[in-house]
Amino acid sequence: MLAAPAALDAFQGQAQEQKWMAAAEALKPQLRRTPVTPVSLVRMVADPGTFLRWRVEPTAPAAEVSKQLMRGGDAVTLDFGRHLVGYLTFTITGEGRGIDAPTRLKLTFGEVPAEVAEPFDPYTGTLSRAWLQDEVINIDVLPATIEMPRRYAFRFLKIETVATSPNFAVRLSGIRAGAVTSAGNAPAELPPGTPELLRRIDRVSVATLRDCMQTVFEDGPKRDRRLWIGDMRLQALTNYATFRNFDLVKRCLYLFAAFPREDGLVAACEFEEPQPHRGHEYIIDYAALYAAAVVDYAEASNDWATAVELWPVVRRQMEILSGYVGKDGIFAAPANAWVFIDWSQNLDKTAAMHGVFLYSLRYAQQLAEKAGAHEEAAQYGKLMAALTSAARANFRDEKQRVFVSGPKRQVSFASQAWMTLAGVASDDEAMAALRTVASMQDAVKPGAPYLYHYMVDAMMRVGMKQDARALIERYWGGMVRAGADTFWEVYDPENPHLSPYGNTLVVSYCHAWSCTPAYFLRSGKLL
């Protein structure tokens, strides 16, 4: 009996998805492992004058650790001198009348000083306490060489001797880490003669990307350790300008294609273990931006064959999302859907989301042409024209020379950035809007580097090179000046206590979406 067409379609769809999953798995990279040893013993000194609340004071070379005999209650803190993602090994010996009890150690790993200086409990964050990187281990037999089984993201390590027995003390030695990444050799630094701050920003960007490049582009190696579309797109762009690992991008694009929701919407994130599967969250703007990620990849790698292979996935996103465009030509996401755009609180996302969809349609149209889907390309063209005029009619405030969003006609950085990137405004209008918003006291500011990226991108698009550069120096440069080795998930220069999760200790301090200054600085358009 012949299958009904819908069932046949579903069957073919599943077969295709399995192929994509197999293709993704075949591209799974081998990680490179680099030994890293600690540089110094340090102590953290509370310093309200510093953004991160703690100052790091070296007290001795790291090798001195093995000169200390440690008893219950003793602790040491080590600085590895750089952020790393990897595994820890150390040796522990016992000395005294007799080793007559287990040794209990507590290890705490920190990306930033506060994580090894402040108690984790009582924990007040909204995300799982289990993300905080502390372990208690009991060692029954000494001497022993311990290989910690978990992977950590850290620069600092505190080791506390919780308990021995009155009859013995312990000595630590051979403390070392194996740092892992799928990034290849570091790209050449920015040429000498480039202002030092920009060279430092670039270095930190590259280190951020390196440590997030694992068997997928992770969002943050401390948390959430998974692949998100919005983060991946920005990592991939920076990767094209630095490590140029095209296969990792291809693997990630396939992973999203392989596990869509039943109706074909791509998931916002993917998990790799115990076997690849989709996350349970869907973000409307991330699904739209999948189109941009596919086309960016093809442009950078020249592998249009893969992009065309993924065209049905892009087409499906556009089909689903265009269903949300109302009769008035405005994109209106379903009430219960997650539209991300940024972490800023109280942001009205209507104009920005409309802009993201319009922006993504442009990429989808380009891919449709490549795939020979001229009908869809023409449809997208019409839809883009309708969305553009609806945006001008609904979001443009001629008097204030900005874009507004929502019933309260809210002015935000997000709306200006996305209206600019969507091409709704002329270059002059966009320039005026991007400058005006910066001078408006009550405009809703970006809440995280993800939106700052699109602010810089919008400025570059309309030729505001000086402004773009100044923003990078101020914002990412601010993190560097505050001691960042890798760029953070959230940063508000005016609010060191900002966290989307109710606690700064659970913030990721090596975060994918913050790595893009290297992309801008190496674009040839900024310097």
How far from chain centre, in Å, is Cα 412?
22
What whole-number distance in Å separates Cα of residue 243 and Cα of residue 239?
5
Residue 344 beta carbon to ligand RAM: minimum distance, rounded to whole angstroms? 13
Is residue 442 classed as helix, strand or coil in its secondary structure? coil
Residues in contact with ligand RAM by the rule CB under 6 A: 219, 224, 228, 230-231, 340, 489, 513
Which lies closer to ligand RAM via its Cβ, residue 209 or residue 367? Answer: 209
Yes or no: say if 506 and 224 are a contact pair by the CB < 8 Å rule: no
DSSP H or E segment with residue 44: strand 40-46
Tokens, residue 254: 């396939």
From residue 81, alpha-carbon distances to 61, 158, 323 in Å are 11, 14, 52
Taking 3-state DSSP, the helix, strand and coil percentages for the chain, each rounded to the nearest 5, stand at 40, 20, 35
Residue 393 neighbours by CB distance under 10 Å = 11
Residue 284 beta carbon to ligand RAM: minimum distance, rounded to whole angstroms? 12
Residue 242 beta carbon to ligand RAM: minimum distance, rounded to whole angstroms? 19
Tell me the pairing of strands 75-96 and 144-147: antiparallel
Which lies closer to ligand RAM via its Cβ, residue 154 or residue 513? Answer: 513
What totals of helices (H) and strands (E) does the chain contain, helices first? 15, 14
From residue 105, alpha-carbon distances to 113, 138, 143, 506 in Å are 20, 6, 14, 22
Yes or no: say if 373 and 312 are a contact pair by the CB < 8 Å rule: no
Residue 222 beta carbon to ligand RAM: minimum distance, rounded to whole angstroms? 11
Residue 223 beta carbon to ligand RAM: minimum distance, rounded to whole angstroms? 8
Which lies closer to ligand RAM via its Cβ, residue 167 or residue 495? Answer: 495
Residue 133 beta carbon to ligand RAM: minimum distance, rounded to whole angstroms? 17
Which residue carries 């984790």 as its tokens? 120
Which lies closer to ligand RAM via its Cβ, residue 321 or residue 387? Answer: 321
Which lies closer to ligand RAM via its Cβ, residue 37 or residue 126? Answer: 126
Phi and psi, residue 124, nearest 5°: -115, 5
Which lies closer to ligand RAM via its Cβ, residue 228 or residue 297? Answer: 228
What whole-number distance in Å separates Cα of residue 52 and Cα of residue 46?
9
Measure the CA dihedral 258/449/220/32, to 10°. 90
Which lies closer to ligand RAM via its Cβ, residue 231 or residue 457? Answer: 231
Residue 479 beta carbon to ligand RAM: minimum distance, rounded to whole angstroms? 16
DSSP H or E segment with residue 455: helix 449-461
Torsion 467-455-343-252 (CA) sign: negative
Which lies closer to ligand RAM via its Cβ, residue 334 or residue 372? Answer: 334
How far from chain centre, in Å, is Cα 270?
14
Residue 511 beta carbon to ligand RAM: minimum distance, rounded to whole angstroms? 6
Residue 430 beta carbon to ligand RAM: minimum distance, rounded to whole angstroms? 26
Which lies closer to ligand RAM via its Cβ, residue 115 or residue 285? Answer: 285
Which lies closer to ligand RAM via its Cβ, residue 348 or residue 489? Answer: 489
Write the CB contacts of 8 (distance below 8 Å, at least 6 apart in sequence): 2
Task: Give me the half-sphere count of Cα atoms (radius 13 Å) on the Cβ side of residue 23.
Answer: 21
Alpha helix ranges (H) inside 404-448: 413-421, 427-439
Which lies closer to ligand RAM via its Cβ, residue 170 or residue 234? Answer: 234
Which lies closer to ligand RAM via its Cβ, residue 230 or residue 517? Answer: 230
What whole-number distance in Å separates Cα of residue 493 and Cα of residue 319?
40
What whole-number distance in Å separates Cα of residue 478 and Cα of residue 262?
44
Report the phi/psi class of residue 483: left, alpha or beta, with left for phi > 0 and alpha for psi in -120 to 50.
left
Residue 489 beta carbon to ligand RAM: minimum distance, rounded to whole angstroms? 5
Residue 433 beta carbon to ligand RAM: minimum distance, rounded to whole angstroms? 26
Yes or no: say if 111 and 83 are a contact pair by the CB < 8 Å rule: yes
What whole-number distance in Å separates Cα of residue 182 and Cα of residue 213?
5
Yes or no: say if 417 and 455 are a contact pair by the CB < 8 Å rule: yes
Residue 226 beta carbon to ligand RAM: minimum distance, rounded to whole angstroms? 8
Residue 253 beta carbon to ligand RAM: minimum distance, rounded to whole angstroms? 16
